[in-house]
Structure 1
Amino acid sequence: MAQHPWLLHYPKEVPPTYPYPKHNLAEFLIQSAAKYPARTALHFMGKEMTYSELLTCSYRFANALRKLGAKKGDRVAIMLPNCPQLVIAYYGTLLAGGIVVMTNPLYMPRELEHQLKDSGASIVVTLDLLFQRVKGVVPATEVRHVVVTSIKDYLPFPKNLLYPLKAKKDGLKREVEYGDTVHAFVKLLNASPSTSVYTEVDAENDLALLQYTGGTTGVSKGVMLSHLNITANTVQNGLWAYKRSESQERYLAALPFFHVFGLTVLMNQAVMLGGCMYLIPKFEVSQILQTIDRFKPTVFPGAPTMYIALINHPDILKYDLSSINICVSGAAPLPHEVQNKFEEITGGRLIEGYGLTESSPVTHANNIWESRKLGSIGIPFPDTFAKIVDPDSGDELPQGEIGELAVRGPQVMKGYWNRPDETAKVLKDGWLRTGDMARMDEDGFFFIMDRMKDMIIAGGFNIFPREIEEVLFEHPAIEEAAALGVPDKYRGETVKAYIVLKQGETLDAKDLEKWCRERLAAYKVPHIYEFRESLPKTIAGKVLRRKLVEEDSQQQEQVTK
């Protein structure tokens, strides 16, 4: 207990250790389909699919892959928004023994080509709207087959008939040249048998997923996650939310499944528990509010930007959001003000967790119903160990000191795909060096200060952007904020704050500086304020600091010229 003080704060219902099943990750779907065959698994724009139907479709897809020549270990890229086809392709690939490569539908050709070439994917599943983009990069890759679907394929009547008309009206191009290597998703499934397919795996070593890092700080790398990695993290999340009811929970699936947070905490979690997922292909605040009001989802994992958008919607009080019981926030720091206001409006619990792609992703979370600490990422999950180390030597630091967070557990990756040197930099004796600066308090709660790369060093002082951003978020006129270091001839770096105001609010730099000076040490107060309409973000809602730095550099070059 002295070495792991967080265990004192475990709810009595949560075991500190657990025997994680070592099976094919798709076993979750097989088990839920056996227990709840008639239970709705997916709800998409009014169309429902039961667990029995989902498993049948997944078997058909697995058989289709084999017909296309896919073998165990082959990589299958899935480039889709949240829709039934993504779930079918995901579990079908696992059943066939393939390795899923989740691909962001927003990727431009250069990014897409890098991921397909790096992974060695032989099959791509994508939308008709994205076909021309995929077609353009395929010749430079090992891709042999492209499977194309349309949003309308799983829409209910009459939406399936109206969708092509709306797409044409919106100027969306859906031209696809089908042939020997380009296949229609629905036709491929209908032509394949529904006989069961199941590939035995070495769960600890066989890969289920190649999940690419966001590339917010450099070149995107393929993270190798085994069947056990993801199975364990799915179970850990389930153990943590011990009050959830099996087969009764309704999940608001707005987090993209092609992001590992949405994949584990939402899709795998819901399937493991036999829950119903309300699939949202694109986050739009009004649609989210209407969905909650009408369908009464109980679980809503999300990113801080989602909760920020909701609580600042002018009509939020017109909707009944009281069905929400559990919200887990990840992908970026959760401001205190956002957490408090969202809980006040919904009556549910919004907790902050922590993870990274390299850990499937979750390693820490605050207790949902017991004691928690605002500003903390919480305590380590079952069978997960964490420590604070010196970034240079790797030696463990005394309690309370700031250093690099290192984690170890069954959810930690096998390494980076085809990058042994990069793997060796972050995996040392089973410990994953996260690159995040953090501290652990006397109770075993962890606090992320910031990414090591994001830390600002101004005039010899170490400044963590999150401290500044918390103060900015407390201002009633501010909707979003980001702080980072920009070059300064005198201090080396100085703090620049990027501000997005709430609708109808006004604020100037002078007033904001006064606000900060009353709440921050003088050396932490931003010297530059830039007011913007929005901040550049990843699809998961994480602010692209690299993009802001690039924009600032370009501005400085213009000034110099």
Structure 2
Amino acid sequence: MNLEDYLTDLRARQERVRPAGIPTEVQYPLGTPQTVPAHVAHWAEQAPDRVALRFQDRTWTYAQLDDESRRLAGWMASTGVRRGDRVAIQLGNCPEFALCFLAILRLGAVHVPVNPMFGAAELAHEINDAEPGLLITSTSQLSTLDLARDRIGELDVAVVDDGTTWQDALAHEPYPDDDGDLDSLAALNYTGGTTGLPKGCMHTQGDMVYTVASAATATHIPQDGSFVGLCYLPIFWIAGEDLGILIPFVLGGTSVLMARWNARDAVDAIEAHRVTLMTGTVENYLELMDLPDIRERDLSSLQDPQAVSFVRKMSPEVRRAWADVVPGSVLRESSYGMTETHTIDITPYGFAKDDQDLLAEPVFAGLPVPGTDVAVVEFGTQTPVPIGEVGEIIVRSPSVTSGYWRNDEATREQLVDGWIHTGDSGRIDELGLLHYLGRRKEMIKVNGMSVFPADVEMLLAQHPAVGAVAVVPTDDERTGQRPVAFVVPQPGASPTAEELMEWSRANMAPYKVPVVVVQEQLPMTDTGKVRKHELAERAAAANSARA
């Protein structure tokens, strides 16, 4: 069966089981797709006093959000930022991030989120690859920037918490126009890969708005301004960007933004602000349920609590425990997606009856959102495998990346005829529903964060004493998994494992720092490849010894 005939059959199966009331066509909140700043401007006109953003004890109405983001756009334009220019934001969860994001899109410039946990080597790679003209950061990040200065070119830097810069920016005349559009490059969202350092996924504002509208259509998220989302996921990650910025602002709702996870603060926010949607790890929900006064708190506003299974897995037992604490609330697994597709592709929404979604084997992903197609094919091809058989998951949607920034080879490998080849294993059942079997071959998940061995290998290889390195995963009781690096020193060098781990702590995000094993050689195949399966057997012992 060819791919198009396969899709015709698959769509028919999916329509028979689509949950009641879920449209087959995407419904946009303003009737047609418009830019993200245009949505903010619309809500500023229609509901100027509605709260758009809450952070700690501060609030922004839509009128204020529109005004301040326009002023920031005017200030950025005065510094030389033009349509198509890259602007990097190196901030944690804070209002300044959201305001700068909107300002960048209003100018038709390109948003480049930078992980504030990056070490110097990681920061230098992303800055050199994206080549932003302006970096927006905070005083806490300046020491890392100083360490990377000798590896990056000229770069204007604005510090949001130095007082003068930010106040001057907010005092600028508002930028009157909207120079963005739906089809031009609007964001470089960096993601790791099985080869090389992270690559910039190119996304447009059209991708962003489709993601919001399709997710809202598929899961009954209200589009009347009543949506209230609680977000403590990092908004420099694309999933946090969706939940903390795009979904609330496009739908005219409210983003309740937290700097970081805290169970007590989360309960206070849900109760005080009548939060309707929250996404967190299973551990987050278990921590909420363990609060001594949780049964006395009113969490009834939560219409769609979503859990992500990283270390602890979502189960019927966890669902029942949550329903016991919050009667009538159904806790479900979140959506299947990836940075390349703007994250929300397949959802289990509507399949919780009798725990169908949690009892299915293997992991149940569910039904594509409207406008998205999924297929399971032979690895390395686009030949569909028969229903029920295992193959590679590929996805096609209006929000699939147009490619990797300045990386034609990677684009050709993973993007074929509009389909993104995920590298994930899966199968589609008789109902047309997707089941996810396993992660990309090389990916390691540390507390839910993706770590690619090739990324850690290339970073460690920058150390002058490292001759060769191979990184493999091992299970870890605290973090789910952990990378273990087997290092062969350069001739004449004798680094210790502790020295290399200390260097890693200074040059990598904390979750990437590996357990290091120094040895004389790596086990190799006859064709010159590292026998990583042999190293995997040693990795567990190395991690246990380290613990």
TM-score range, shorter chain: 0.7 to 0.9
1:404 to 392, 405, 428: 392
**Does the CA contact (< 8 Å) of 2:216 and 2:223 recur in 1?**
no
In the TM superposition, 1:417-432 aligns within 5 A as: 417-432=405-420
Corresponding residue SS for 1:77:
strand
Q: Using the TM superposition, give the Cα deviation of residue 229 of structure 1 relative to its aligned residue in structure 2, in angstroms.
A: 1.2
Query: Equivalents in 1 of 2:72, 2:403: separation in Å?
Result: 29
Q: Please name the residue that 2:366 is paired with.
A: 378
- Structure 1's 211 and 452: CA in aligned 2 closer, same or farther, altered over 3 A? closer
Write the letter of the residue equivalent to 2:422: T
- Structure 1's 420 and 547: CA in aligned 2 closer, same or farther, altered over 3 A? farther
Name whichever of 106-115 and 301-310 sits farther off.
301-310
1:193-251 per-position Cα deviation (integer Å, ceiling 9, x unaligned) = 024231043x23x1111001156986211111112111111111111232525222221
Q: Using the TM superposition, give the Cα deviation of residue 383 of structure 1 relative to its aligned residue in structure 2, in angstroms.
A: 1.0
Query: Equivalents in 1 of 2:57, 2:194: separation in Å?
Result: 36
Query: Equivalents in 1 of 2:476, 2:140: separation in Å?
Result: 34
1:188 to 147, 154, 169: 169
Corresponding residue SS for 2:432:
coil
Q: Which ranges in structure 1 are unaligned for 5 or more consecutive residues?
A: 151-175, 456-464, 467-478, 483-493, 502-541
Q: Using the TM superposition, give the Cα deviation of residue 390 of structure 1 relative to its aligned residue in structure 2, in angstroms.
A: 1.1
**Does the CA contact (< 8 Å) of 1:436 and 1:452 recur in 2?**
yes
1:238 to 204, 213, 216: 216
In the TM superposition, 1:440-519 aligns within 5 A as: 440-453=428-441, 497-500=475-478
Aligned length: 457
- Structure 1's 496 and 61: CA in aligned 2 closer, same or farther, altered over 3 A? closer
Query: Equivalents in 1 of 2:543, 2:67: separation in Å?
Result: 58
1:150-209 per-position Cα deviation (integer Å, ceiling 9, x unaligned) = 3xxxxxxxxxxxxxxxxxxxxxxxxx6x9xxxx72222221x1024231043x23x1111
Q: Which ranges in structure 2 are unaligned for 5 or more consecutive residues?
A: 1-7, 451-471, 480-509, 517-534
Q: Using the TM superposition, give the Cα deviation of residue 453 of structure 1 relative to its aligned residue in structure 2, in angstroms.
A: 0.9
Query: Equivalents in 2 of 1:195, 1:496: separation in Å?
Result: 51
Name whichever of 426-435 and 313-322 sits farther off.
313-322
Q: Please name the residue that 2:348 is paired with.
A: 366
Corresponding residue SS for 2:325:
helix
Q: Please name the residue that 2:120 is paired with.
A: 109
Write the letter of the residue equivalent to 2:314: P
Q: Please name the residue that 1:45 is paired with.
A: 56
Alpha-carbon RMSD across the aligned residues, in angstroms, is 3.6
2:378 to 377, 381, 390: 390
- Is 1:13 aligned with 2:21? yes
1:71 to 65, 82, 92: 82
Name whichever of 141-150 and 27-36 sits farther off.
141-150
Identity of aligned residues (%): 26
Corresponding residue SS for 2:427:
strand
Q: Using the TM superposition, give the Cα deviation of residue 441 of structure 1 relative to its aligned residue in structure 2, in angstroms.
A: 0.8
- Is 1:355 aligned with 2:355? no
Query: Equivalents in 1 of 2:543, 2:261: separation in Å?
Result: 36
1:287-315 per-position Cα deviation (integer Å, ceiling 9, x unaligned) = 22232233331111234443344345555
Q: Please name the residue that 1:342 is paired with.
A: 322
Q: Using the TM superposition, give the Cα deviation of residue 89 of structure 1 relative to its aligned residue in structure 2, in angstroms.
A: 0.2
Query: Equivalents in 2 of 1:430, 1:323: separation in Å?
Result: 39
Query: Equivalents in 1 of 2:513, 2:440: separation in Å?
Result: 13
Query: Equivalents in 2 of 1:270, 1:42: separation in Å?
Result: 9
Q: Using the TM superposition, give the Cα deviation of residue 92 of structure 1 relative to its aligned residue in structure 2, in angstroms.
A: 0.4
TM-score norm. by structure 1 comes to 0.73
**Does the CA contact (< 8 Å) of 1:80 and 1:105 recur in 2?**
yes
Q: Using the TM superposition, give the Cα deviation of residue 373 of structure 1 relative to its aligned residue in structure 2, in angstroms.
A: 1.9
Write the letter of the residue equivalent to 2:9: A
1:451-494 per-position Cα deviation (integer Å, ceiling 9, x unaligned) = 24169xxxxxxxxx99xxxxxxxxxxxx99x9xxxxxxxxxxx9
**Does the CA contact (< 8 Å) of 2:229 and 2:243 recur in 1?**
no
1:92-137 per-position Cα deviation (integer Å, ceiling 9, x unaligned) = 0000111001111111111111111111111111122222322443
Q: Using the TM superposition, give the Cα deviation of residue 12 of structure 1 relative to its aligned residue in structure 2, in angstroms.
A: 4.4
- Structure 1's 551 and 98: CA in aligned 2 closer, same or farther, altered over 3 A? farther
Query: Equivalents in 1 of 2:273, 2:27: separation in Å?
Result: 35
Query: Equivalents in 1 of 2:94, 2:440: separation in Å?
Result: 36
Query: Equivalents in 2 of 1:208, 1:283: separation in Å?
Result: 29
Name whichever of 51-60 and 19-28 sits farther off.
19-28
1:427-470 per-position Cα deviation (integer Å, ceiling 9, x unaligned) = 11111111111111111111111024169xxxxxxxxx99xxxx
Q: Please name the residue that 1:226 is paired with.
A: 204
**Does the CA contact (< 8 Å) of 1:79 and 1:127 recur in 2?**
yes
Corresponding residue SS for 1:258:
coil
Name whichever of 237-246 and 221-230 sits farther off.
237-246
1:367-415 per-position Cα deviation (integer Å, ceiling 9, x unaligned) = 2487552241111111111111111444210001111101101011111
Query: Equivalents in 2 of 1:401, 1:369: separation in Å?
Result: 22
1:257-290 per-position Cα deviation (integer Å, ceiling 9, x unaligned) = 1111111234211011211111101112222223
Q: Using the TM superposition, give the Cα deviation of residue 72 of structure 1 relative to its aligned residue in structure 2, in angstroms.
A: 0.6
Query: Equivalents in 1 of 2:515, 2:214: separation in Å?
Result: 34
Q: Using the TM superposition, give the Cα deviation of residue 29 of structure 1 relative to its aligned residue in structure 2, in angstroms.
A: 1.2
Q: Please name the residue that 1:134 is paired with.
A: 145
- Is 1:265 aligned with 2:272? no
**Does the CA contact (< 8 Å) of 1:255 and 1:262 recur in 2?**
yes
**Does the CA contact (< 8 Å) of 2:36 and 2:209 recur in 1?**
yes
- Is 1:54 aligned with 2:62? no
- Structure 1's 495 and 228: CA in aligned 2 closer, same or farther, altered over 3 A? closer
Q: Using the TM superposition, give the Cα deviation of residue 550 of structure 1 relative to its aligned residue in structure 2, in angstroms.
A: 8.7
**Does the CA contact (< 8 Å) of 1:81 and 1:281 recur in 2?**
yes
Write the letter of the residue equivalent to 2:408: P
Query: Equivalents in 2 of 1:495, 1:84: separation in Å?
Result: 36
Query: Equivalents in 1 of 2:377, 2:246: separation in Å?
Result: 32
Query: Equivalents in 1 of 2:210, 2:357: separation in Å?
Result: 26
Corresponding residue SS for 2:148:
helix
**Does the CA contact (< 8 Å) of 2:351 and 2:357 recur in 1?**
no
Corresponding residue SS for 1:8:
helix
Q: Using the TM superposition, give the Cα deviation of residue 82 of structure 1 relative to its aligned residue in structure 2, in angstroms.
A: 1.8
